[in-house]
Amino acid sequence: IFFWWYPGGYRSNEQSDYGIINPDGTDRPSSGVIRRNAPQLTASRKSKTRAKIIINVNPRARADGLFGMYQTVKDEFWDAYNRGFEPVLKIE
């Protein structure tokens, strides 16, 4: 498992030290938790095969970008998902 916050050490620009490994390479308490849970985190998930449903979306239809696209299709998207479909967005 690789996490972007892997290296430890004080970051002066962030004023933080959120690494999961000490600067000398030894484990911190959080890395022990990750190691213990790694099999569960990396195990293949049994995917549910869902029928796909296409939802057309026009990114130029609204001036408010991704937020607008979401607002346009959110009800249809979540309705399809809740009915057991895999919603697939298709750009018009």
At 33 the pLDDT is 86
Q: Determine the number of helices (DSSP H) and then strands (DSSP E) in the chain.
A: 2, 2
What are 13's two structure tokens?
């620009």
- 9, 17 in Cβ contact below 8 A? yes
Which residue, chain included where needed, has tokens 């962030």? Answer: 14
Per-residue pLDDT of the chain (92 residues; tens, 9 = 90+): 555 566 777 778 878 777 788 888 888 888 888 888 888 878 877 767 789 999 999 989 989 988 999 999 999 999 999 999 999 999 98
- Buried b / exposed e over 42-60, threshold 16 CB at 10 Å, is eeeeeeeeeeebebebeee
